[in-house]
Amino acid sequence: GPFRALGTPVLDIHELAAGKLAALLSRRQARDVFDSHRLLTSKLLDPERLRLAFTVYGAMNRRDWRTVSPDDVNLDAVELSRQLLPTLSMTERSNDVLPEAFGGRLVQGCREGLAAVLPLRPNERAFLDLLLDQGEIDASLLTGDDSLRERIRRQPLLAWKAQNARLRESR
C-alpha cells in the first residue's frame, strides 16, 4: 500500500527467536512450544547469531540459564487441546489427528532444534558465570563486534542482573 512505517524499531529475527526460546525453557506453555518449533525448523536462522542472542536473552531470564537443557521442553496435553489447538488451522496441525501425536512431534522437534544453542559453549558459560556470580558484564566473551558488545553492556536487564549479583556477593 501507500503507507510505510518509518523509524520503527524492529527486532532482528534472532532476537525474536531467542526471546521465544527463553519463554519455551522458562514458562513451558503450549504456544511457546508451537512457536519455537516453527522458528527452529524455519531455516531462517543463522546458528551463530541465534547462539549469541540465546545466551544474552537467557542471561536476562529469571531462570539460571546455566541449568537449561533440551529435556526441559515438555507439553501438557490438556493445555494443548484446550488452548492451542482451537487457535490453529488444520494446515498448521499437519496430518496429526491426535493431540498427543501433534504435541509429541512439536516437543521432539524443539528438543532437536535446541542443538543449535545447547549445550552452552565454554565462552557462553563464562559470560553467564561472570554475570550471575560476580555481577560483571563481559560481552567480549560472546562477540568481537564492538557495537554489539556495547549494546549488550548497556542492556538494562543485564545491568539489573549484575547489580543483584553484586548485592548477593557483598552479603
pTM of the model: 0.90
Point out the residues of the chain with pLDDT beneath 70.
Answer: 1, 5, 94-97
Q: In this structure, are residues 111 and 43 in contact, taking their beta carbons and an 8 Å threshold?
A: no
**Alpha carbon of 86 to those of 28, 92, 102, 106: distances in Å?**
18, 11, 13, 16
**Predicted local distance difference test score (pLDDT) of residue 89:** 81
**Predicted local distance difference test score (pLDDT) of residue 96:** 61
C-alpha cell at 49: 547469531
Report how far residue 161's alpha carbon sits from residue 141's, in angstroms, rounded to the nearest whole number: 17
**Predicted local distance difference test score (pLDDT) of residue 97:** 67
The per-residue pLDDT for range 140-157, each reduced to its tens digit, is 999 999 999 999 999 999
Q: In this structure, are residues 44 and 13 in contact, taking their beta carbons and an 8 Å threshold?
A: yes
**Predicted local distance difference test score (pLDDT) of residue 95:** 64
**Predicted local distance difference test score (pLDDT) of residue 1:** 65
